[in-house]
């Protein structure tokens, strides 16, 4: 694949190095001439000096034949514009942008960027996965449908323990899909299934109803 990377900072540098090792054709675009020279010395002639948000630079880079453009500069606005130019002017099939501000993920998605990566959100997700006391863990997102698959752990002291699924009033758009129990086969919950302490419930929900689902399962 021909992949263009915008921004020769640490992320851009190590990303180029890894992708070159995998045998891809890489072009890194970096504004700072000194940074550009260092990268060319270390990785071979892969770095083009220029502004990745300028049409002339992207023309020079042969962006119209690129399979993917990845924008990893330190500024969210530059990453957004580079990806939008790639997508709408050069018809690049895949665009990936890094964001600093996790709130920009939704905006970038709305504006047509294929994948948005926020390091803040990634670290947060890992923390919530590692910390067992957090009752709702995100497992997966079904982006185009606005749904998410979450895991909810039922603590022993929770009022829902001993209740049947039918007694729990779930918010609209939420569905319990699977219950995983210690030393038992996972069960698909029915109306008569009784919740037990330490159940891991896998549920489908939307980001708007996630909090209501948590409250319903915790018996609040």
Residues that bind another protein (CB under 8 A): 53-56, 75-78, 80-81, 84-85, 88-89, 101, 103, 106-107, 110-111
Complex with another protein: residue 96 or 213, whichever CB lies closer? 96
**How near is the Cβ of 27 to another protein at its closest, in Å?**
20
Complex with another protein: residue 89 or 181, whichever CB lies closer? 89
**How near is the Cβ of 200 to another protein at its closest, in Å?**
35
Complex with another protein: residue 16 or 84, whichever CB lies closer? 84
DSSP code of 188?
-
**How near is the Cβ of 150 to another protein at its closest, in Å?**
25
**Residues 165, 208: Cα–Cα separation, whole Å:** 21
DSSP H/E element including 43: helix 33-43
Comparing C-alpha atoms, which of 114, 110, 82, 112 is closest to residue 96?
114
Q: By the 8 A CB rule, do 153 and 184 touch?
A: no
**How near is the Cβ of 100 to another protein at its closest, in Å?**
11
At residue 48, the 3 state secondary structure works out as strand
**Residues 164, 155: Cα–Cα separation, whole Å:** 16
């Amino acid at each position: 694949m021909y992949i263009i990377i915008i921004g020769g900072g640490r992320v851009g540098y190590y990303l180029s190095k890894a992708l070159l090792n995998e045998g891809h054709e890489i072009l890194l675009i970096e504004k700072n001439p000194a940074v550009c020279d260092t990268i060319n010395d270390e990785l071979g002639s892969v770095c083009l000096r220029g502004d990745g948000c300028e049409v002339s630079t992207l023309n020079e880079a042969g962006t119209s034949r690129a399979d993917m453009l990845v924008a990893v500069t330190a500024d969210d606005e530059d990453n957004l514009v580079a990806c939008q130019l790639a997508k709408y002017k050069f018809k690049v099939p895949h665009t990936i942008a890094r964001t600093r501000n996790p709130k920009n993920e939704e905006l970038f998605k709305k504006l047509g960027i294929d994948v948005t990566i926020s390091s803040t959100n990634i670290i947060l997700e890992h923390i919530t996965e590692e910390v067992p006391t957090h009752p709702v863990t995100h497992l997966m997102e079904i982006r185009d449908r606005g749904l998410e698959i979450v895991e909810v752990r039922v603590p022993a002291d929770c009022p829902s323990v001993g209740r049947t699924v039918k007694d729990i009033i779930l918010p609209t758009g939420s569905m319990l899909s699977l219950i995983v129990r210690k030393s038992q086969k996972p069960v698909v919950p029915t109306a008569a299934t009784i919740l037990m302490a330490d159940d891991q419930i896998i549920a489908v929900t939307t980001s708007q109803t996630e909090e209501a689902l948590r409250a319903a399962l915790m018996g609040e």
